[in-house]
Amino acid sequence: MSSGDTLLGRLLQRQPAKALITGHAMSAPGVGLHIQLDAAARVMHLAGPLRHALARQAVSAQPVPLRDYLMPHSCLSIEGSPGDWIGHSLDLDFQGLGDQPVHLRGWVQPQAEGWLLQLLDIGDLLLERRQARSREQCQLLTTQISEQLRLCSLPRLPQVLTDQLQLLAQRLHIPCIAVALLDEQAQGWQVHQHARAFDAPQLWHLGQRLGTGLDTLNSGAPQPLISGEHPRLQDIFGHAEGFVVPYQDAQGVAAWLLCGFYPVQQRAPDLSHRDWLQLMAALAAPLLERLREQRHHLHLERLEALQTLLGTGWWELFGDRHELQLAPSLASDLGLDRGFLPVRDWLERVHPADREELNARLLDLQDNSAPLLLCIRVLQADAAQSPTWYRLQGQAIGAGTQRRIIGFMLDISDIKNQQQHAATAHARLDNLIASSPAVIYVQRYVEGALLPTFFSDSLLPLLGFSLADCSPAMLVERVHPDDRDQYFERTRQLLRQGSVQARYRMRDSLGDYHWLLDEARLLRDDLGLPVEAVGLWLDVTEATQAAEQVRQSEERYRLLVEDSPAMICRYLPDLTLTFGNRPLAAYLECEPQALPGVNLGSWMSPEQREAFVSRLGQLTPEFAVSTAEINLQLPGREHAWWVWSDRGVFDDQGRLLEIQAVGRDNTEVRRAQQQLTQSAKMATLGEMATGLAHEINQPLNVMRMAVVNVLKRLGNGDVQVDYLTEKLKRIDAQVQRAARVVDHMRVFGRRSEIEQQPFNPLHAIEGTLALLAEGMRGKGLELRIGEAGFEVQVRGHVDQLEQVLINLMVNARDALLAKREDDHPFQPWIALDAERDAQHVRLWVEDNGGGIDPRLMERIFEPFFTTKPVCVGTGLGLSVSYGIVENMGGRLSVSNAAHGARFCIELPILPQS
Ligand code: ADP
Query: With 90 as the cut, is the pLDDT of residue 5 above it?
Result: no
d(CA 731, CA 706): 7
**Which ligand 1 atom minimizes the distance to the CA of 874?**
3
Question: Is residue 866 lining ligand 1, measured as CB closer than 6 Å?
Answer: yes
190 and 182 Cβ atoms separated by less than 8 Å: yes
* Predicted confidence band of residue 40 (pLDDT cuts 50, 70, 90): confident
Q: Is the CB of 874 under 6 A from ligand 1?
A: yes
Tell me: do 394 and 436 sit in the same domain: no
Residue 882 has pLDDT above 80, yes or no: yes
Strand 829-836 and strand 782-785: pairing?
Answer: parallel
Residue 913 resides in a domain: no
Region for 30 from its dihedrals, namely left if φ exceeds 0, alpha if ψ lies in -120 to 50, beta otherwise: left
The whole-angstrom distance between residue 14's C-alpha and the CA centroid of its chain comes to 88
Distance between first and last Cα of the chain: 158
pLDDT tens by residue, 491-519: 999 999 999 999 999 999 899 999 999 99
CB-based burial of residue 828 (10 Å sphere; 0-12 exposed, 13-18 middle, 19+ buried)?
Answer: buried
Nearest residue CA, atom 23 of ligand 1?
Answer: 812
**How many whole angstroms separate alpha carbon 543 and alpha carbon 517?**
10
Name the H helices within 531-658: 541-563, 582-587, 606-617
213 and 103 together in one domain: no
CATH number at residue 896: 3.30.565.10
Q: What is the pLDDT of residues 445-481, one digit of tens each?
A: 988 888 888 888 888 888 888 888 877 778 888 999 9
Relative to the CA of 903, which ligand 1 atom is closest? Answer: 23
Q: What b/e readout covers 77-104, taking b as 16+ CB neighbours within 10 angstroms?
A: ebeeebeebeeeebebbbbbeeebbbbb
Query: Above 80 in pLDDT, residue 219?
Result: no
Indicate whether 6 pLDDT > 70: no
Atom of ligand 1 nearest to the CA of 847: 23
What is d(CA 394, CA 79) in angstroms, rounded to the nearest whole number? Answer: 89
Q: Point out the ligand 1 atom lying closest to the alpha carbon of residue 808.
A: 20
Is the shortest distance between the CB of 214 and ligand 1 below 6 Å? no
As a whole number, mean pLDDT of residues 901-908 equals 96
Domain assignment present for 126: no
Q: What is the pLDDT of residue 518?
A: 92
129 assigned to some structural domain: no
Give residue 322 CA to ligand 1 midpoint distance, Å: 128
Q: Could you tell me if the CB of 875 is within 6 A of ligand 1?
A: yes
Last residue of a domain, one of 65, 98, 121: 121
Same domain, 529 and 584: no
Ligand 1 mutation pick, 677, 811, 881, 904, max ligand atoms within 8 A of CB: 811
Phi–psi pair at 523, nearest 5 degrees:
-100, 135
Rounded to an integer, the average pLDDT of 158-176 is 90
**Helix axes 667-687 and 689-716, enclosed angle (nearest 10):** 40
Whether 877 is in the pocket of ligand 1, judged by its Cβ within 6 Å, is yes
| Mean of the per-residue pLDDT values of the chain | 85
Distance from C-alpha of 334 to C-alpha of 905, rounded to nearest angstrom: 107
Q: Is residue 304 part of a domain?
A: no
210 ligand 1 Cβ < 6 A: no
**Integer CA distances (angstroms), 886 to 141, 765, 801, 883, in order:** 142, 18, 11, 5
The mean pLDDT value for 226-230 works out to 72
pLDDT-derived band at 12 (thresholds 50, 70, 90) equals: very low
Question: What is the rounded average pLDDT of the residues 333-345?
Answer: 86
Residue 860 Cβ < 6 Å to ligand 1: yes
Beta bridge partners of 834: 843
Cβ of 502 below 6 Å from ligand 1: no
Dist. CA 27 → ligand 1 center (Å): 191
Name 543's bridge partners. Answer: none
Q: Residue 502 forms beta bridges with which residues?
A: 518
| CATH code of the domain in which 435 resides | 3.30.450.20
Question: Is residue 329 in some structural domain?
Answer: yes
Dihedral of the alpha carbons of 804, 807, 810, 812, in degrees to the nearest 10: -80
Shared domain for 286 and 335, answered yes or no, is no
By the 8 A CB rule, do 249 and 224 touch? no
Return the pLDDT at 381.
79
The closest alpha carbon to 804, from 881, 727, 700, 896, belongs to 881
Q: What percent of the chain has pLDDT over 70?
A: 93
360 C-alpha to ligand 1 centroid (Å): 118
Map residue 773 onto helix, strand or coil. helix
Same domain, 389 and 406: yes
In the predicted model, is pLDDT for residue 1 greater than 50?
no
CA distance 189 to 202: 18
Question: Helices (DSSP H) in 311-351: which residue ranges?
Answer: 328-333, 343-349
Q: Region of 608 please: left (phi>0), alpha (psi -120 to 50) or beta.
A: alpha
- Residue 867 Cβ contacting ligand 1 at under 6 Å: yes
The answer to whether 46 and 35 are in contact (CB under 8 A) is yes
How confident is the model over 200-214, as pLDDT tens digits? 888 888 888 888 877
In angstroms, the CA 69 to CA 678 distance is: 183
Say whether pLDDT at 16 is over 50. no
**CATH number where 248 lies:** 3.30.450.40
Long-range contacts of 101-110 (CB under 8 A, 24+ apart): 101/71, 102/50, 102/53, 102/54, 104/32, 104/33, 104/50, 106/32, 106/33, 108/37, 108/82, 110/83, 110/86
What's the pLDDT at 753? 65
Q: Whose CA is nearest to atom 21 of ligand 1?
A: 811
> Which has the closest alpha carbon to 733: 722, 723, 741, 744?
741
Q: Ligand 1 within 6 A of 873 CB?
A: yes
Those residues whose C-beta lies under 8 Å from the C-beta of residue 578, and which sit 6 or more positions away, are 570, 571, 572, 596, 658
Cα of 868 to ligand 1 centre, how many Å? 8
Mean pLDDT within 806-835: 91
pLDDT score at 812: 94
Give the total residue count for the chain.
913
Single-letter code of the amino acid located at 429: L
**471 and 334 within one domain:** no
Identify whether residues 215 and 238 lie together within a single domain.
Answer: yes
On whether the CB atoms of residues 65 and 44 are closer than 8 A, the answer is no
Q: 432 and 287 in one domain?
A: no
Q: Is the pLDDT of residue 440 over 90?
A: no
Strands (E), 197-331: 209-211, 225-226, 242-249, 252-260, 312-318, 323-326
Is the pLDDT reported for residue 220 higher than 60? no
Transcribe 662-706 into DSSP letters.
EEEE-HHHHHHHHHHHHHHHHHHHHHTHHHHHHHHHHHHHHHHHH
Percent of the chain with pLDDT over 90: 27
At 635 the three-state DSSP class reads: coil
Cβ contacts of 893-897, under 8 Å, gap ≥ 24: 894/852, 894/857, 894/860, 896/851, 896/852, 896/854, 896/857, 897/846, 897/851
Decide if pLDDT at 26 tops 60: no
More confident residue, 678 or 543: 543
Query: Is any atom of ligand 1 closer than 6 Å to the C-beta of 849?
Result: yes
Task: State which residues form the domain around 499.
Answer: 422-545
**Pair 449, 412 in one domain:** no
Summarised one tens digit per residue, pLDDT across range 543-583 is 888 888 888 888 888 888 887 888 999 999 999 999 998 88
Residue 554 lies in a domain: no
Q: Looking at the domain assignment, is residue 552 inside a domain?
A: no
Contact 899 CB / ligand 1 (< 6 Å): no
Are 828 and 684 part of one and the same domain?
A: yes
| One domain, residues 594 and 682 | no
Residue 658 lies in a domain: yes
Nearest to 773 by CA among 783, 763, 787, 788: 783
pLDDT the model gives residue 222: 58
What is the Cβ-side half-sphere exposure of residue 291, based on CA atoms within 13 angstroms? 16
% helix, strand, coil for the chain, step of 5: 45, 25, 30
Number of domain units in the chain: 6
DSSP 67: G
Distance CA 237, CA 519 (A): 78
Of 856, 803, 556, the residue nearest 688 (C-alpha): 803
pLDDT, tens only, 387-423: 888 999 999 998 888 899 999 888 888 888 888 888 8
State the distance from the centre of ligand 1 to the C-alpha of 181, rounded, in angstroms.
143
Atom of ligand 1 nearest to the CA of 865: 10
Q: Which of 397, 420, 443 is the last residue of a domain?
A: 420
Which of 264, 298, 332 is the last residue in one of the domains? 298
pLDDT at residue 15, rounded to an integer:
41
Domain co-membership, 55 together with 157: no
Rg (CA), the chain: 74
User: 834 CB less than 6 Å from ligand 1?
Assistant: no
Task: Kindly tell me if the per-residue pLDDT of 319 is higher than 50.
Answer: yes
| CATH number of domain containing 67 | 3.30.450
DSSP secondary structure letters along 367-409: HH---EEEEEEE--SSTTSPPEEEEEEEEEES-GGG-EEEEEE
The torsion defined by the Cα of 616, 618, 620 and 622, in degrees rounded to 10, comes to -120
C-alpha closest to that of 14 among 277, 268, 279: 268
> Tell me: the pLDDT tens digits for 728-783?
888 888 888 788 777 777 766 666 666 788 999 999 998 888 878 888 888 889 99
865 CB less than 6 Å from ligand 1? yes
Judge if the beta carbon of residue 234 lies within 6 A of ligand 1. Answer: no
Arithmetic mean of pLDDT, 814-832: 90
**What pLDDT, on the 0 to 100 scale, is given for residue 29?**
43
878 lines ligand 1 (CB under 6 A): yes
DSSP string, 260-288: ES--HHHH-TT--HHHHHHHHHHHHHHHH
Query: Mean pLDDT lowest for which of 340-344, 633-637, 843-847?
Result: 633-637
Confidence of residue 19 (pLDDT cuts 50, 70, 90): very low
